[in-house]
């Protein structure tokens, strides 16, 4: 996997703002050699297509495969609809599934599965698509300056994938194998990540907004009301684009820069 936020901060210099962090991503060579992220990622994608993809699979049309990867980047943080993805790329659904497996095998992307419970709720069954590295997503979307992320329409989705991948990387580094998932039901209640601990569920919402407010907890709190009838207690956490964390009676507010520390996780 690419580096976690806490590992990136060991380099000097390292990104100091949210936009710089999302744009730079977390591949170590960028920071070790102090390279321009766009230049290095362009070379990385070219090498990936020419070398790794040809080694792992018999993809014949690399230009179509690159288009597929770009379309996947545009769907990061969204429900994975194979039919729509295949149609937009001009390939079959089996091919789309096969090519997505290639992205997963090479640790570019992963599928976050939906939460399952015995509650009588009609839960969404489609997985969500996420990328491990936000810098790669930015490059694939044509973002060439960190400042573009201030108003980019996919800012929220990129931030969500970044938060999910940070949680995933941290748990992998700690050797934790309990499942991560997301919650969404047919009535519109949803939360970005459900972290299953041995004694509780942690409901994590990712919001790129920089201003702290109770609205950041609204979605996760709604899901908590559904899951509180289950066997495990729930805690609500909102990771946001601001700089100050807060402990509130109803939830914890975590700054994006504190995700690597995860001081709010027991």
- Please report whether residue 240 resides in a domain: yes
| pLDDT at site 54 | 75
Percent of the chain with pLDDT over 90: 71
* Residues 119-139, mean pLDDT to the nearest whole number: 90
- pLDDT surpasses 60 at 266: no
- pTM given for the model: 0.94
51 and 43 Cβ atoms separated by less than 8 Å: no
- Please report whether residue 198 resides in a domain: yes
Residue 78 CA to residue 181 CA, distance in Å, equals 13
Residue 234 CA to residue 231 CA, distance in Å, equals 10
| pLDDT at site 117 | 73
- Please report whether residue 21 resides in a domain: yes
Residue for token pair 């949680």: 167
- Please report whether residue 263 resides in a domain: no
* Residues 171-180, mean pLDDT to the nearest whole number: 83
pLDDT band at 262 (very low <50, low <70, confident <90, very high): low
The residue among 251, 155, 172 whose CA lies nearest residue 204 is 251
pLDDT digits (tens, 9 = 90+) for 133-165: 999 999 999 999 999 999 999 999 999 999 999
Q: Which residue has the higher pLDDT, 266 or 44?
A: 44
pLDDT band at 118 (very low <50, low <70, confident <90, very high): low
Structural domain span for residue 142:
5-258
Residue 246 CA to residue 251 CA, distance in Å, equals 9
- Please report whether residue 266 resides in a domain: no
* Lowest mean pLDDT segment, chosen from 16-30, 74-88, 142-156, 160-174: 160-174
Q: What total of structural domains would you count in the chain?
A: 1
pLDDT band at 121 (very low <50, low <70, confident <90, very high): low
* Residues 187-206, mean pLDDT to the nearest whole number: 92
- Please report whether residue 113 resides in a domain: yes
- Please report whether residue 111 resides in a domain: yes
- Please report whether residue 264 resides in a domain: no
Sign (positive/negative) of CA torsion 72, 81, 207, 148? positive
* Lowest mean pLDDT segment, chosen from 87-101, 168-182, 200-214: 168-182
């Amino acid at each position: 996997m690419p580096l976690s936020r806490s590992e990136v901060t060991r380099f000097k210099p390292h990104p100091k703002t949210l936009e710089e962090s999302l744009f730079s991503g977390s591949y170590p060579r960028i920071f070790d050699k102090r390279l321009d992220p766009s230049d290095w990622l362009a070379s990385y994608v070219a090498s990936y297509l020419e070398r790794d993809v040809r080694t792992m699979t018999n993809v014949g049309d690399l230009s179509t495969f690159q288009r597929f990867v770009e379309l996947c980047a545009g769907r990061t943080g969204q429900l994975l609809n194979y039919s729509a993805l295949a149609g937009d790329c001009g390939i079959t659904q089996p091919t789309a599934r096969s090519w997505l497996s290639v992205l997963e095998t090479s640790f570019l992307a992963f599928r976050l599965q939906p939460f399952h419970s015995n509650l009588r709720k009609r839960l969404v069954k489609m997985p969500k698509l996420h990328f491990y590295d936000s810098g790669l997503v930015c490059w694939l979307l044509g973002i060439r300056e960190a400042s573009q992320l201030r108003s980019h329409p996919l800012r929220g989705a990129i931030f969500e994938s970044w938060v999910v991948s940070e949680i995933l990387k941290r748990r992998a580094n700690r050797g934790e194998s309990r499942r991560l998932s997301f919650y969404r039901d047919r009535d519109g209640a949803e939360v970005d990540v459900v972290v299953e601990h041995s004694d509780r569920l942690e409901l994590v919402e990712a919001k790129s907004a920089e201003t702290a407010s109770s609205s950041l907890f609204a979605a996760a709190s709604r899901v908590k009301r559904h899951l509180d009838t289950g066997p495990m207690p729930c805690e609500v956490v909102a990771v946001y684009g601001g700089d100050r964390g807060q402990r509130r009676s109803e939830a914890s507010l975590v700054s994006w820069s504190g995700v690597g520390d995860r001081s709010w996780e027991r």
